């Protein structure tokens, strides 16, 4: 009982510490802990909660990773409607707004100006200080229950310092950096990109799988509450201060103004700062500060009379498309870029704009010599919005899309599940350097000593044009490279030679087949046993592998159908690279009778005769499951030199401990 109490106390300590660090980082923007300190505490908490699930609570930082996948969102009726705002588009509109208000109340009017975040409106409900509901605005009366996704947003507190029963409202958004990174990732994967951060935020918050939402790095600014009586505040300024005090993230970029002239000056100040903000805004929200004055002024059917949203004019420009360039990315995705007459936009000169993929060009019917409107998506990425058809030349013809790679001239493929076109040639120079780096990496062919600098030189000197060329390198060629000495060159050649003995799954990993990682490579190698059998496999045969799925099966089949791939495999085989699976099959491991077959094993400390990866592979070949943390489910811990907390924990739990030598002896 005492042990349980101690463990529970430690879990509570870790939760409090991690939540405080998270608040300092995401809300206050004043981190006091390093990433390493946070990670260490977080992993300790995870391990304790795995071992003691009875102590897991909803406010634990470990619960932000996303829960069950939903079939659909449940509807939520807002107790207090989430009203929209009337819009203003000029200083005159704001002056008229001010004049109307002064006729509706005799109270002194001052305004609070807040940035209008371009995101998705949300409402958060807390009971006894615990987050119980996160909902979208919907139509203002009825929204959707997105609690699971809201819980993944690190700037949203899962619990409050006091047992408040309150509702707060604000905007969920995606920071500009996250938006750019997300679109770059989707473009590489051949997926449709998001038009702007708002769409990205909305799409992420409305994911039925919270684990996807958790990866999207969403954030919030909270700025209103129907619970002002509970919070004991009488002005908007006090409300924002109180919300920040409680632990909610509010936007510090705001200003209290006495006149519309002051409001307008602030709008102009923010408009100038807008491109440099880390999030996208589309205007300014102006609210009467005093709640008593708000009550007197009242509401229309759709909106409060005491607030208005000033909308920034769209930052757009016209120019002419002179050319469309196609570039090949790391994964073979071929991306179009419009080359245009230079034009000023959002303080910069723009000459190029992303067109993302062929579907977008088709949808907007973009042609050479077209006059187009461009804007900056998220104030960052120049993008062609539309074509001005009345300015289109009479001789204009629909754009003809490339059918061959602009670099290697191999046929381009438009895979069924993608919006992108893709070069599947593994010898394509545009993909080669990244492909080479992946091929020699530790989890693939494990050629130590061949880093990015060496690969770049090899490629630039024309010594390595595909992965097969690595096996043709000579000592003299390596010594001719910059900063490569005799010993380094010899080590590289030794690593290359040793890699020929690798099992088939390493080669499959190194080839960089789309959607085929180390796990899928192992499954394919175990099932088909030889490269020839895999090359000849049909879609139906590939799908026989449990859990492989249509996407991987189609990707593998498409890859091996390429003549250039077949040529590459033959070159590798001629160089002496092993083409068979050398590990133990699943049937063999089950029948091996090894003492570790079917056991859960943890590796800890420094191994002297094996690398950690080699040891893991040997264990898996025996049919053992290798995990990263010690728990009651662990059967054996293999401890090397300087084993630390995992060994201590294993001893405390009475788990069997082996030395590295014991493990090696068991293999004899």
Give the catalytic positions in this structure. 116
* Residue 395 dihedral angles phi and psi, to the nearest 5°: -85, 5
Written as six digits, the tokens of 218 are: 């969403």
Give the torsion through C-alpha atoms of 249, 252, 256, 261, to 10 deg.
-130
Indicate the length of the chain as a whole number. 668
Written as six digits, the tokens of 171 are: 């905007």
Handedness of CA 563, 568, 573, 579 (dihedral sign): negative
User: Which residue in the block uniquely carries the two structure tokens 């811990």?
Assistant: 637
Q: Are strands 333-345 and 316-328 parallel, antiparallel or unpaired?
A: antiparallel
CA-closest candidate to residue 583, choices 535, 525, 662, 507: 525
* Residue 641 dihedral angles phi and psi, to the nearest 5°: -65, 140
How far from 40 is each of 26, 456, 571, CA to CA, in Å?
Answer: 19, 36, 46
Handedness of CA 229, 233, 239, 245 (dihedral sign): negative
Residues 6+ apart with CB under 8 A from 124: 131, 133, 134, 150, 156, 167, 168, 169, 170, 222
CA-closest candidate to residue 375, choices 312, 309, 284, 325: 312
In whole angstroms, what is the distance from residue 482 CA to residue 412 CA?
A: 36
HSE-CB of 116 using CA atoms within 13 angstroms: 19
3-state secondary structure of 200: helix
């Amino acid at each position: 009982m005492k042990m349980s109490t101690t463990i529970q106390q430690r879990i509570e300590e870790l939760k409090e510490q991690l939540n405080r660090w998270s608040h300092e980082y995401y809300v206050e923007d004043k981190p006091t802990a390093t990433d390493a300190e946070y990670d260490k505490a977080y992993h300790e908490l995870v391990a304790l909660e795995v071992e003691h699930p009875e102590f897991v609570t909803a406010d634990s930082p470990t619960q932000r990773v996303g829960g069950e996948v939903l079939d659909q969102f449940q509807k939520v009726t807002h107790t207090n409607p989430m009203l929209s705002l009337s819009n203003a588009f000029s200083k005159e509109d704001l002056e008229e707004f001010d004049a109307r208000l002064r006729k509706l109340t005799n109270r002194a009017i001052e305004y609070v100006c807040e940035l209008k975040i371009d995101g998705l409106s949300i409402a958060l409900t807390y009971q006894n200080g615990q987050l119980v509901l996160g909902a979208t605005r919907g139509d203002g009366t009825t929204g959707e229950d997105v609690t699971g996704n809201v819980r993944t947003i690190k700037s949203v507190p899962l619990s409050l310092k006091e047992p408040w029963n309150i509702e707060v409202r604000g905007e969920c958004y995606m920071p500009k950096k996250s938006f750019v990174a997300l679109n770059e990732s989707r473009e590489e994967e051949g997926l449709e990109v998001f038009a702007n951060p708002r769409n990205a935020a909305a799409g992420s918050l409305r994911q039925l799988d919270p684990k996807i939402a958790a990866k999207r790095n969403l954030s919030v600014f909270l700025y209103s509450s129907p619970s002002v009586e509970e919070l004991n505040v009488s002005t908007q300024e006090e409300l924002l201060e109180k919300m920040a005090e409680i632990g909610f993230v509010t936007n510090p970029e705001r200003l209290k103004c006495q006149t519309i002239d002051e409001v307008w000056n602030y709008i102009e100040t923010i408009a100038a700062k807008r491109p440099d903000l880390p999030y996208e805004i589309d205007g300014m929200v102006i609210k009467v500060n005093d709640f008593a004055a708000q009550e007197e002024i009242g509401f229309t059917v759709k909106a409060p009379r005491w607030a208005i949203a000033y909308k920034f004019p769209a930052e757009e420009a016209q120019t002419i498309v002179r050319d469309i360039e196609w570039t090949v990315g790391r994964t073979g995705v071929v991306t179009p870029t419009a080359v245009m007459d230079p034009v000023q936009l959002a303080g910069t000169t723009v000459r190029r704009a992303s067109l993302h993929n062929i579907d977008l060009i088709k949808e907007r019917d973009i042609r050479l010599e077209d006059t187009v409107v461009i804007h900056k998506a998220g104030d960052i990425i120049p993008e062609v919005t539309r074509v001005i058809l009345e300015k289109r030349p009479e001789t204009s013809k629909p754009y003809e899309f490339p059918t061959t790679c602009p670099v290697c001239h191999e046929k381009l493929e438009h895979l069924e599940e993608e919006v992108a076109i893709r070069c599947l040639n593994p010898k394509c120079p545009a993909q080669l350097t990244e492909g080479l780096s992946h091929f020699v990496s530790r989890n693939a062919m494990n050629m130590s000593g061949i880093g990015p600098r060496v690969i770049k030189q090899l490629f630039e000197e024309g010594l390595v044009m595909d992965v097969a060329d690595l096996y043709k390198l000579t000592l003299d060629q390596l010594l001719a490279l910059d900063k490569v000495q005799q010993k380094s060159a010899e080590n590289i050649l030794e690593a290359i030679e040793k890699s020929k003995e690798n099992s088939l799954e390493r080669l499959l990993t190194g080839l960089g087949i789309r959607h085929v990682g180390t796990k899928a490579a192992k499954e394919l190698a175990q099932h088909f046993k030889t490269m020839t059998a895999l090359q000849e496999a049909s879609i139906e045969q590939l799908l026989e592998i449990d859990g492989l799925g249509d996407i991987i099966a189609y990707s593998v089949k498409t890859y091996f159908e390429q003549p250039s791939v077949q040529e590459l495999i033959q070159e590798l085989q001629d160089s002496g690279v092993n083409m068979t699976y050398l590990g133990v099959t699943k049937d063999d491991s089950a029948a091996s009778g090894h003492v570790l077959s079917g056991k859960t094993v943890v590796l800890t400390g420094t191994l002297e005769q094996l690398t950690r990866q080699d040891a893991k592979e040997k264990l898996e070949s025996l049919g053992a499951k290798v995990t990263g943390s010690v728990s009651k489910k662990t059967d054996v811990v293999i401890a090397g030199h300087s084993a630390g907390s995992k060994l201590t924990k294993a001893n405390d739990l009475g788990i069997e401990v082996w030395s590295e030598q014991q493990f090696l002896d068991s293999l004899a």
